[in-house]
Every structure is written in structure tokens, then in C-alpha cells.
Structure 1
């Protein structure tokens, strides 16, 4: 196995862990996976930092029920991993049942303590 192949496998596993943490409302695990400078964009146009996203989760604004996140590809460039795929979810946002169908880009940064989730950008799929 090449180093790039190993890193790609690690990133895919980390994406699974990130979404699992969201589904299980495991904020400690989500924090552990995240870079302190996280920029988390939403399909609504809002943007969260790590702390504001965690605050929204703690207060119950986001409650994830089901998430499907197929990955189209992972591209590793130096110490950055780009994950291009989809984020399809059934969740409750501020008490309202919501279905999301997005193409998305997740960015992971290799740090001294391992790969950390640095940024997320969804784009709603037209007609979804």
C-alpha cells in the first residue's frame, strides 16, 4: 500500500466516525475529530465555528436521525485531504423535520496529533 492509499483509507474512516458522532450526539468525539479552527458551512448559508456548532448541537437545534454520505473521491495534497461526495440526511432543525440532499466538500488537515476535520461546505442538490 502507498502512503496516499493509507491516508485515503484513514480519511474515509474518519468521515464515518464524524458522521457517527453527529448521529449519536457524541460531542466529545466530534470535538476530538475536529480542528480548533473548524469552519462548518450549512446549506442554508449559515457558518459555524467549532464552538458555535457544538452549542447548536447541545441546545438541540440539530438532531440527526439518519445520514448517508457516499464519497466520490478523496484527494490528498500535502497535509490536506479533500473529500468530495454527498451528505443526505433526515434530521430535525429547530424542531422542524428536514431532509437534506447535498453535494459536499469536507476538508481534513494533518496535524501533529493526526488528521483533524477543518472545513465543510455543502451545496444543495437542485430539486431535492
Structure 2
């Protein structure tokens, strides 16, 4: 009986570890899809990756809701020519993922000169029946050294 209890304990730990690794991979994949969709401005993909309750904080302090976030990217009001994410970390807590990374991007927003953004980002992803969805994002400017 003792051996059976040890075996079940080992299996439970193994399954939990495997699930956490699967979740981290799924969140990483969703983050990459979001990066690509932000560059392309693909409305269908953007909408598939976010929750309707999205709160999207810009480094300027402005906060977009889900509709504003999508419309700005689709209309090229917010136009990323490229985005490079580095130093990404993912922490899973139950059905929530906390993702931090550094974002460097080149922009060509409508009505503005081409520019660059250098930001540290915090993303909050929520696990739903249809996969990981972005619930919140907050950016802060990185000071030039």
C-alpha cells in the first residue's frame, strides 16, 4: 500500500510538472502570435488573442480597451514595422500567466514620423476554454543609458 501511495504521488507531481510546461509553451506561442498580429494588423487574429475585458496600457499612460487596441493596429494609427521581444519570462499561477519582456520596435504611426520604442512590458494572460487570452498589458519606457 505504501508503494502504491508513493507511485501515485510521483505520478501527480509528474502530471503537474508536465501541465505547467505545456502551459508555458502555450503562453509563449500566444505571445508570439500576438507579436506577429501587432505587426500585420490582422483583425481576426488580434481579436482571437484577447479578452473583451482587455485593458492595454501604453507607456504614455493612455489605456485602450479591447476595441481601441484592435482598431488602432488595424487602421495603422498604431503601426509597428517590427517588434523584437527579448528577456521574456513566464510565470504561471493557476489559470493566469504573468509575462514580462523587453520590447524594441520600429513604428510608422499614421501622421507621425517613423520612430522607435524601447519598452519593458508586463502582460497578463488568462487561460480559457479556447486557449490563452490577453487580459492586460502595461508598458513602461526604458531610459536610454
Superposed pair shares fold, TM > 0.5: yes
Tell me the TM-score range normalised by the shorter chain: over 0.9
Query: Secondary structure in 1 aligned to 2:115?
Result: strand
Residue 115 of structure 2 corresponds to 98
Counterpart of 1:123?
140
Determine which structure has more spread, i.e. the larger CA radius of gyration.
2
Is 1:102–1:124's contact at 8 Å kept on the other side of the alignment?
yes
Asked if the contact 1:71/1:83 (under 8 Å) is kept, the reply is no
The gaps in structure 1 that reach 5 residues or longer are none
Confirm or deny that 1:86 pairs with 2:128. no
Residue 72 of structure 1, CA deviation? 2.8
Report whether the alignment pairs 1:52 with 2:65.
no
RMSD value, Cα = 1.4
Give the aligned partner of residue 5 of structure 2.
Answer: none
Gaps of 5+ in 2: 1-16
Q: Which residue of 1 aligns with 2:126?
A: 109
**Corresponding residue pairs, total:** 128
Aligned equivalents of 1:7, 1:56: Cα separation in 2: 29
The 1-side partners of 2:106 and 2:59 are apart by 14
TM-score, normalised to structure 1, is 0.93
Q: In 1, are the aligned partners of 2:78 and 2:108 still within 8 Å (CA)?
A: yes
- Partner residue, 2:78: 62
Q: Which has the higher helix share?
A: 2
The match for 2:8 is: none
More strand by share: 1
Q: TM (normalized to structure 2)?
A: 0.82
Return the alpha-carbon distance in structure 2 between the equivalents of residues 127 and 95 of structure 1. Answer: 25
Describe the shift of the 1:100–1:119 C-alpha distance in structure 2 as closer, same or farther (beyond 3 A).
Answer: same
